[in-house]
Each structure stands twice: as C-alpha cells, then as structure tokens.
Amino acid sequence: MATSSHVGGDELIIEDVHFSYGSVPIFDGMSISVSPGEFLSILGPSGCGKTTFLNLLSGFLKPDAGSVLLRGEPIEPEDPHFGYVFQSATLFPWLSTVENVEFGLRMAGKLTPEQRREKAMHYLDMVGLKGFENYLPIRLSGGMQQRASLARALAMEPRLLLMDEPFGALDAITREIMNDELLRLWDELGQTVVFITHDIDEAIYLSDRVLVLNLPPRGVFKTLNNDLPRPRSGPTTRTADLFWQYKKELIDDISQVSALKKKVQAAQMN
C-alpha cells in the first residue's frame, strides 16, 4: 500500500465562541480563523484558558454559544480529520511502539492488518523510530515516547493537528531536537497545526502566527505575525535580530497579562 507524504491542512474557524465552567466565564465572544496549512501557537500565563481552548477545538468541550468549524462543519471528538498530541505521551504500556501507532488505525477499522502495519512503520520511520518498533514504551526515553505519540497522531493523517505542550516535559536539548523534527514533518505533510506552549522561544521558532491569550473571559490579548523566513534552523533563526525583537514583544505582552492577573487576584482577596 502506497503511503502519501503530503496530507495538507484544512481551514479552522472559531466564531463568536462563548464558554463557561458553571458560573465562571472562560471565553466571551472568541473569534479566530486559522488558514489551511498554518502553524499557529498559543501563549499565555497559567489560567488563561489555553487547554480549554484546545479542547473546544477538538470537540471534547462544546461552546455555550458560537461555533468551531473544520471544513465548514462542527468538530466532533471522533472526527478523523484532526489529531491530538497531549502533554504526556499517553502510550499503552502493554503495547509495543508499532502497536501503539496502529491503535487508532485499528479502531477506525478501514485497513487490513498488513496495511495498518505498513502505515504505522512509515510514520515511525518519519519520526526516527525505525528499529524501535517492537520496544515497549518503558524501554523508550521520554523524547522517543513523544515521537511515538506524534507518529500515532500522524498515522491517522489528520488535516488538523492539535498539540497541547507536547514537549514541555523534555529537557532543553531534546526539546530543540523535537522542534526541528516537528518543523520537518509539518513542512512535508502540510497540516494545519494549533500548538499550545509556555515557551516563548518555541512559539517563535515554530509558528507562522502567535496568539497571546488574555485573562478569562477576554480572549486574545495580542496577535504576532511571524515574518522569520523558512526553512528555519536553530543557530540561524534563534540568533536573528527579528527573533529577539519578537521575543521582547511577547515577554512584554505576557508580563502585562500576568500583571493584570495579580491585580484581579488582589482585588478578589479584598
């Protein structure tokens, strides 16, 4: 079975979304559009709703009002057109690496066992895990486990990839390696990516656009359009003047949101 390299991406439209946890509003009229094949990163201090936003995009949470549309249709959790990479690898410890990657394909029930194995091996090779397909997760390093998790999501060939701080638990060197691997895969596959991170450098390095979220329920505080040229490489991109200019801007933006958070918390205590 031939496996296509280029998957492509779909447009994502978030229109006038309202969402609350009980009586606590999180978003009050959030509107964003993400272009096909765009790499969008979301920044913001803890408590600003980053993971909630991603769960609304995935259909795990439903907006109280407004709409989240992929290809013009509401997103459901079982939608095969999107994939989700979590903060931890969340691999099944009793399954081998290749069996973990095959899991979603097996649940979809559309391929023969031979086709599933071929596709799983294709994506394991893409993420650099060829030769480790028969290892149990406990025998893999943290970075390798996250590669396997990424391969599992990619094997479904989603046109939208949602990523919730997937490299946050990795050491700095492994994290930079994974950033480069993700850019290589994104360039080859062409999917739309929405990426949550606390790391400003990571957001700048990866993204076409960076959104800084405000405190709930205010939505987007700032949008940064990233004009750093592609393809990007660590030594060149991370030392560019424009990279440092963006970093300064984003640090200032997040500092303003954090200051507002402290002000609101102080007012609530009085």
Report how far residue 100's alpha carbon sits from residue 18's, in angstroms, rounded to the nearest whole number.
36
Position 2 scores a pLDDT of 44
pLDDT per position as a tens digit, 123-181: 999 999 999 999 999 999 999 999 999 999 999 899 999 999 999 888 889 899 999 99
Share in percent of the chain as helix, strand, coil (round to 5): 40, 20, 35
Task: Kindly list the structural domains of the chain, giving each domain's residue range(s) and its CATH number in brackets, ordered by start.
Answer: 9-38+45-80+193-270 (3.40.50.300)
Output the average pLDDT for the chain: 91
103 Cβ partners below 8 Å, 6+ apart?
92, 95, 152
Position 88 scores a pLDDT of 82
Position 109 scores a pLDDT of 81
Position 22 scores a pLDDT of 92
pTM (predicted TM-score): 0.92
Report how far residue 58's alpha carbon sits from residue 36's, in angstroms, rounded to the nearest whole number.
16
Position 71 scores a pLDDT of 87
pLDDT per position as a tens digit, 113-136: 999 999 999 999 999 999 999 999
Residues in the chain where the model's pLDDT stays below 50: 1-2
Compute the radius of gyration of the chain from its Cα atoms: 19
Position 1 scores a pLDDT of 46
